[in-house]
Amino acid sequence: MCGRYTALTENEIIEVREILKNMSLRIVRDEFSDDDEALRPGDEVRPTERAPVLIKNSEGLSFESIKWGFKKWRGTGEIINARCETIKTAATFSGLIEAGRCVVPAGEFFEWERLGKEKRKHFVKDKNGNILFMAGLYRNTEDGREFVIITKKATGEMEKIHDRVPVLLRLDQMEAWLNGKMSPDDLEDLDFDVAVTPCDNGEGEQMRFF
Protein backbone atom coordinates (compact mmCIF):
# COMPACT_ATOMS: atom_id res chain seq x y z
CA MET A 1 0.00 0.00 0.00
CA CYS A 2 0.98 3.65 0.07
CA GLY A 3 -0.15 5.67 3.07
CA ARG A 4 2.22 8.63 3.06
CA TYR A 5 4.61 10.34 0.68
CA THR A 6 6.65 13.53 0.35
CA ALA A 7 5.17 16.62 -1.28
CA LEU A 8 7.12 18.19 -4.11
CA THR A 9 9.44 21.09 -3.35
CA GLU A 10 9.18 24.31 -5.34
CA ASN A 11 12.17 23.23 -7.47
CA GLU A 12 10.53 19.87 -8.15
CA ILE A 13 7.32 21.60 -9.23
CA ILE A 14 9.40 23.55 -11.74
CA GLU A 15 11.12 20.33 -12.82
CA VAL A 16 7.76 18.63 -13.46
CA ARG A 17 6.70 21.52 -15.67
CA GLU A 18 9.96 21.23 -17.62
CA ILE A 19 9.54 17.45 -18.01
CA LEU A 20 6.05 17.92 -19.43
CA LYS A 21 7.28 20.63 -21.79
CA ASN A 22 10.01 18.32 -23.12
CA MET A 23 7.39 15.63 -23.66
CA SER A 24 5.28 18.12 -25.65
CA LEU A 25 2.48 17.79 -23.10
CA ARG A 26 0.77 21.16 -22.73
CA ILE A 27 -0.45 22.27 -19.31
CA VAL A 28 -3.81 23.99 -19.83
CA ARG A 29 -4.51 24.49 -16.14
CA ASP A 30 -1.81 25.15 -13.56
CA GLU A 31 -2.96 25.95 -10.04
CA PHE A 32 0.37 26.32 -8.33
CA SER A 33 2.10 29.46 -7.20
CA ASP A 34 4.71 30.22 -4.56
CA ASP A 35 2.02 30.99 -1.96
CA ASP A 36 -0.03 27.82 -2.50
CA GLU A 37 -0.55 26.57 1.06
CA ALA A 38 -1.70 23.15 -0.18
CA LEU A 39 1.81 22.31 -1.36
CA ARG A 40 3.67 22.30 1.97
CA PRO A 41 6.94 21.72 0.04
CA GLY A 42 8.93 18.78 1.34
CA ASP A 43 6.39 17.81 4.01
CA GLU A 44 4.74 14.41 4.20
CA VAL A 45 1.37 14.15 2.47
CA ARG A 46 -1.22 12.23 4.48
CA PRO A 47 -4.64 10.88 3.45
CA THR A 48 -7.40 13.55 3.23
CA GLU A 49 -4.78 16.24 2.50
CA ARG A 50 -4.42 18.02 -0.84
CA ALA A 51 -1.46 17.44 -3.15
CA PRO A 52 -0.32 18.08 -6.76
CA VAL A 53 -1.82 15.72 -9.35
CA LEU A 54 -1.54 15.54 -13.16
CA ILE A 55 -4.85 15.00 -14.97
CA LYS A 56 -5.31 14.48 -18.73
CA ASN A 57 -8.27 16.06 -20.49
CA SER A 58 -9.23 16.72 -24.11
CA GLU A 59 -7.29 20.00 -24.25
CA GLY A 60 -4.11 18.95 -22.49
CA LEU A 61 -2.87 18.43 -18.93
CA SER A 62 -4.24 19.88 -15.75
CA PHE A 63 -1.73 20.30 -12.89
CA GLU A 64 -3.84 20.86 -9.82
CA SER A 65 -4.15 20.29 -6.10
CA ILE A 66 -6.82 17.76 -5.08
CA LYS A 67 -7.66 15.66 -2.00
CA TRP A 68 -6.06 12.27 -1.41
CA GLY A 69 -8.67 9.64 -0.67
CA PHE A 70 -12.16 8.65 -1.80
CA LYS A 71 -14.68 9.11 0.97
CA LYS A 72 -16.38 5.77 1.62
CA TRP A 73 -20.05 5.65 0.68
CA ARG A 74 -21.05 5.16 4.32
CA GLY A 75 -19.10 8.28 5.20
CA THR A 76 -16.63 6.55 7.53
CA GLY A 77 -12.98 6.59 6.53
CA GLU A 78 -11.17 7.01 3.22
CA ILE A 79 -10.09 4.71 0.41
CA ILE A 80 -6.54 5.81 -0.45
CA ASN A 81 -5.28 2.96 -2.67
CA ALA A 82 -6.67 0.88 -5.53
CA ARG A 83 -5.30 -2.57 -6.44
CA CYS A 84 -4.36 -2.72 -10.13
CA GLU A 85 -5.51 -6.35 -10.23
CA THR A 86 -9.12 -5.41 -9.44
CA ILE A 87 -9.74 -1.86 -10.70
CA LYS A 88 -11.49 -3.19 -13.82
CA THR A 89 -14.08 -5.05 -11.76
CA ALA A 90 -14.39 -3.00 -8.57
CA ALA A 91 -17.49 -0.78 -8.73
CA THR A 92 -15.66 2.13 -7.10
CA PHE A 93 -12.94 2.25 -9.77
CA SER A 94 -14.11 0.56 -12.98
CA GLY A 95 -15.92 3.63 -14.28
CA LEU A 96 -12.81 5.78 -13.85
CA ILE A 97 -10.50 3.81 -16.13
CA GLU A 98 -11.61 5.67 -19.25
CA ALA A 99 -12.02 9.19 -17.91
CA GLY A 100 -10.42 9.29 -14.47
CA ARG A 101 -6.73 8.58 -14.96
CA CYS A 102 -4.14 10.70 -13.20
CA VAL A 103 -0.48 10.70 -12.18
CA VAL A 104 0.70 11.63 -8.69
CA PRO A 105 4.24 13.07 -8.50
CA ALA A 106 6.23 12.59 -5.30
CA GLY A 107 9.72 13.09 -3.97
CA GLU A 108 9.59 9.75 -2.14
CA PHE A 109 7.05 7.56 -0.38
CA PHE A 110 7.07 5.79 2.96
CA GLU A 111 6.33 2.22 3.94
CA TRP A 112 6.34 0.37 7.24
CA GLU A 113 7.91 -3.04 7.77
CA ARG A 114 6.20 -5.23 10.34
CA LEU A 115 8.65 -6.50 12.96
CA GLY A 116 6.72 -8.60 15.45
CA LYS A 117 4.54 -6.19 17.41
CA GLU A 118 6.20 -3.13 15.93
CA LYS A 119 6.54 -1.45 12.55
CA ARG A 120 9.71 0.13 11.22
CA LYS A 121 9.44 3.10 8.88
CA HIS A 122 11.36 3.15 5.56
CA PHE A 123 11.56 5.82 2.91
CA VAL A 124 11.60 4.78 -0.74
CA LYS A 125 12.95 6.87 -3.60
CA ASP A 126 14.33 6.62 -7.11
CA LYS A 127 17.90 5.33 -7.01
CA ASN A 128 19.02 8.26 -9.16
CA GLY A 129 17.16 10.85 -7.11
CA ASN A 130 14.53 11.53 -9.77
CA ILE A 131 10.93 12.50 -9.06
CA LEU A 132 8.59 9.53 -8.67
CA PHE A 133 5.40 9.40 -10.74
CA MET A 134 2.66 7.16 -9.30
CA ALA A 135 -0.32 5.95 -11.33
CA GLY A 136 -3.66 7.00 -9.93
CA LEU A 137 -7.37 7.48 -10.47
CA TYR A 138 -9.49 10.53 -9.65
CA ARG A 139 -13.17 11.36 -9.49
CA ASN A 140 -15.33 14.45 -9.21
CA THR A 141 -17.55 14.91 -6.17
CA GLU A 142 -19.79 17.67 -4.81
CA ASP A 143 -16.89 18.68 -2.56
CA GLY A 144 -14.31 18.71 -5.38
CA ARG A 145 -11.91 16.24 -6.94
CA GLU A 146 -10.24 13.43 -5.02
CA PHE A 147 -7.69 10.76 -5.98
CA VAL A 148 -6.35 7.33 -5.05
CA ILE A 149 -2.93 5.79 -5.75
CA ILE A 150 -2.84 2.49 -7.64
CA THR A 151 -0.78 -0.31 -6.10
CA LYS A 152 0.64 -3.63 -7.34
CA LYS A 153 2.39 -6.64 -5.88
CA ALA A 154 5.79 -5.66 -4.51
CA THR A 155 9.01 -6.96 -6.09
CA GLY A 156 12.74 -6.58 -5.47
CA GLU A 157 13.80 -4.62 -2.40
CA MET A 158 10.24 -3.57 -1.63
CA GLU A 159 9.11 -7.18 -1.30
CA LYS A 160 11.30 -7.51 1.81
CA ILE A 161 9.30 -4.93 3.77
CA HIS A 162 5.76 -4.99 2.34
CA ASP A 163 3.62 -7.00 -0.06
CA ARG A 164 2.27 -3.96 -1.96
CA VAL A 165 3.91 -1.00 -3.71
CA PRO A 166 2.61 2.03 -5.65
CA VAL A 167 2.64 1.60 -9.42
CA LEU A 168 5.63 3.75 -10.45
CA LEU A 169 5.76 5.05 -14.02
CA ARG A 170 8.70 6.00 -16.18
CA LEU A 171 8.20 9.08 -18.35
CA ASP A 172 7.09 7.22 -21.49
CA GLN A 173 4.82 5.04 -19.37
CA MET A 174 3.34 8.12 -17.70
CA GLU A 175 2.16 9.50 -21.02
CA ALA A 176 0.81 6.09 -22.07
CA TRP A 177 -1.17 5.78 -18.84
CA LEU A 178 -2.68 9.25 -19.13
CA ASN A 179 -3.53 8.78 -22.82
CA GLY A 180 -5.26 5.46 -22.21
CA LYS A 181 -2.76 3.46 -24.27
CA MET A 182 -1.72 1.48 -21.20
CA SER A 183 -4.31 -0.92 -19.78
CA PRO A 184 -4.80 -1.77 -16.10
CA ASP A 185 -3.45 -5.25 -16.92
CA ASP A 186 -0.17 -3.67 -18.08
CA LEU A 187 0.33 -2.11 -14.66
CA GLU A 188 0.82 -5.49 -12.99
CA ASP A 189 3.96 -6.17 -15.03
CA LEU A 190 5.66 -2.80 -14.54
CA ASP A 191 8.85 -2.83 -12.53
CA PHE A 192 10.75 0.12 -11.11
CA ASP A 193 14.12 0.06 -9.35
CA VAL A 194 13.97 1.96 -6.07
CA ALA A 195 16.22 2.56 -3.08
CA VAL A 196 14.74 1.52 0.28
CA THR A 197 16.27 3.02 3.43
CA PRO A 198 15.20 2.65 7.09
CA CYS A 199 14.41 5.95 8.81
CA ASP A 200 16.97 5.57 11.60
CA ASN A 201 18.43 9.07 11.60
CA GLY A 202 16.01 10.65 14.02
CA GLU A 203 13.20 10.73 11.48
CA GLY A 204 11.98 7.21 12.20
CA GLU A 205 8.60 6.42 13.62
CA GLN A 206 8.14 3.20 15.55
CA MET A 207 4.56 1.93 15.73
CA ARG A 208 3.59 -0.70 18.27
CA PHE A 209 0.70 -3.16 18.03
CA PHE A 210 -1.07 -4.58 21.08
Percent share of the chain, pLDDT over 90:
44
The whole-chain average pLDDT of the chain stands at 85
DSSP annotation string for the chain: ----EEPPPHHHHHHHHHHHHHTT--EEEE---TT-TTT-TTSEE-TTSEEEEEEE-SSSEEEEEEEESEEPTTSSSEE-EEETTTTTT-HHHHTTTTT-EEEEEES-EEEEEEETTEEEEEEEEETT-PPEEEEEEEEEETTEEEEEEEEEE--GGGGGT-SEEE-B--HHHHHHHHHT-S-HHHHHT----EEEEE--SS---EEE--
| pTM (2 d.p.) | 0.88
- For residue 60, the tally of other CB atoms under 10 A from its CB is 14
Would the pLDDT of 40 be above 70? Answer: no
Q: What percent of the chain has pLDDT over 70?
A: 89
pLDDT bucket at 132, cuts 50 / 70 / 90: very high
How large is the average pLDDT for residues 179-185? 92
Q: What is the per-residue pLDDT across 76-127, written as a single tens digit (0 to 9) for each?
A: 789 999 999 999 999 999 999 998 999 999 999 998 888 888 888 888 999 8
pLDDT surpasses 60 at 207: no
State the pLDDT at residue 204.
41
Choose which CATH entry (3.40.50.300, 3.30.70.20, 3.90.1680.10, 3.40.50.2000) describes domain 5-208: 3.90.1680.10
Average pLDDT over residues 39-47: 76
